[in-house]
Amino acid sequence: MQLDKISKLPGAYVILVELKTSYQSEIGSLGNIKFSAGHYFYFGSARGHGGMQARVQRHIRAKKQLHWHVDWLLLSGTVIKVLLVAGGGECNLRQKADLIDDLKVIAPGFGSSDCDQCQAHLLAVNGGGSDTLKKLQGVTGGGIYSATSFFPITAAHPAIV
């Protein structure tokens, strides 16, 4: 399905975040977390107005109010790819990730403070993030999109990409 058709639907998503350097931050009740340079998957869902597109655009935007755990990671990290699963749930998507050997929990409770099914909604990727995202796509049936496809790159909006 084309991005413009699927992205406005409710569903679940995985953002592939790249950290070029190590990063440490105090993140709410989770405390001080150190992130090594590398790739991370963050699992989320979007059920409200604008669907997955609106939520992913928020994650990509540089200027935003810090609200979710992932917002602190994104102060230093960059969203490079997105897996969208129309109608899917983030916990179901996260549990399917357990079928892939290249992923591990690095901060229990991260992104899952409202979830009693998952240890965390953030996983560190061992190795290349794009190849592992394709493996996850294989078990979910979702579509992978470049982060830049969520915003037109124009002089009018240079700060959002």
pLDDT band at 117 (very low <50, low <70, confident <90, very high): confident
Token couple for 6: 């699927």
Band of residue 3 on the pLDDT scale cut at 50, 70, 90: low
Instruction: Output 20 or 101, whichever has higher pLDDT.
Output: 20
Q: Is 54 helix (H, G, I), strand (E, B) or coil?
A: helix
Model's pTM, two decimal places? Answer: 0.88
pLDDT average, residue stretch 119-125: 94
Written as one letter, the residue type at 33 is: I
- With CA atoms as reference, report the closest residue to 59 among 47, 36, 39, 42: 42
Cβ-contact 8, 85 below 8 angstroms: no
d(CA 73, CA 25): 8
Q: What is the DSSP letter of 101?
A: T
Give the angle 100-105-109 at the CA atoms, nearest 5°: 130
Nearest alpha carbon to residue 81 among 19, 159, 150: 150
Q: Which amino acid is at 68?
A: W
For 37-65, what is each residue's pLDDT tens digit?
999 999 999 998 888 988 999 888 888 88
